[in-house]
Amino acid sequence: MSRFTLGPALLFCPADRPDRFAKAAARADAVILDLEDAVAPHAKTAARGALIDAHLDPERVIVRVNPIDSDAFAADMATLSQTDYRRIMLAKAQSPKRIARLDPRFEVIALCETARGVVAAERIAAQDNVVALMWGAEDLVASLGGTSSRTDRKDRRYRDVARHARSRVLLAAGAAGKAAIDAVHLDIDDEKGLRREAEDAAASGFTATACIHPAQVDIVRAAYRPDAATLSWAREVLEAASGERGVFRFAGRMIDEPVLRHARAIVARAD
């Protein structure tokens, strides 16, 4: 099973903004210090220096590094070797072989956000140093030559290709016993849409959802937290199962092992 236990709300923070590090870490369940897209090329050296000087709990820090095939990747990893941070999020992960050859001191969250990365998700998830998969919609659509991951309808739901990628990454992670992290919701003001997607992520089996703004954290946490009625049902059905063998009826519903596993997941998420 996955060694990844952080969640449900993971908050991105630009690595060149050390003034925000502590606040981001305090607000979310873990902070993702971003050396990739959030930092302009001319600011990456300063961002690496900020990482070295930061004083955060390494257990609650993820560092998003640049893609393996980029010029910045080696500098990112050399910087992290001077810190206690040992959990990286690999941007644009595509090559299972190259991921397997990374420094074994580091746990890898593979960000499958290109067509090649999504197609290779199963093989990436199988690598021993990979503890979780995440997917990304905008880079994925860009890698296909597209222009938008969402429809133009009022509800702005994902296009089919993005929904397929989301499902494939979740399935690949689950098949390998690894955690799955849902993509960011870019429209900060769309609280309703974020809540809908986070609730779906929790019900579908994602471990966490990434956030790009502190205001999104509480919405994500609430979406992953079972409501009182659901939690009560889960505890009651598990208690009833302790005196039963095989399939049994509870509150008008037939209960078997898959349903009990759902109940256990609900209780674990509440705890």
Per DSSP, the residues of 235-252 read: HHHHHHHTT--SSEEETT
Q: Based on the structure, what is the number of domains in the chain?
A: 2
Residue 149 domain-assigned (yes or no): yes
Spans of the chain below 70 pLDDT: 1-2, 244-245
| 38 and 102, same domain (yes or no) | yes
Token pair belonging to 175: 């098949």
CATH (domain of 86)? 3.20.20.60
Token pair belonging to 238: 């598990």
Token pair belonging to 195: 């809540």
pTM, entire model = 0.90
| 190 and 257, same domain (yes or no) | no
| 133 and 209, same domain (yes or no) | yes
Q: Is 139 annotated in some ligand binding site?
A: yes
Of 212, 123, 118, the C-alpha closest to 162 is: 118
Q: Is 271 annotated in some ligand binding site?
A: no
Q: Is 113 annotated in some ligand binding site?
A: yes
| 192 and 262, same domain (yes or no) | no
Phi, psi dihedrals of residue 179, rounded to the nearest 5°: -80, 155
Element (H, E) at 32: strand 30-34
pLDDT at 128: 97
Residue 2 domain-assigned (yes or no): no
Q: Which residues contact 27 (CB under 8 A, 6 or more apart)?
A: 11, 214, 217
| 143 and 247, same domain (yes or no) | no
Span 243-252, pLDDT tens digits? 766 788 888 8
Q: Which residues contact 87 (CB under 8 A, 6 or more apart)?
A: 58, 61, 62, 63, 106, 107, 109, 131
Span 223-263, pLDDT tens digits? 999 888 888 888 988 988 887 667 888 888 888 888 998 88
| 86 and 193, same domain (yes or no) | yes
Token pair belonging to 16: 């060149």
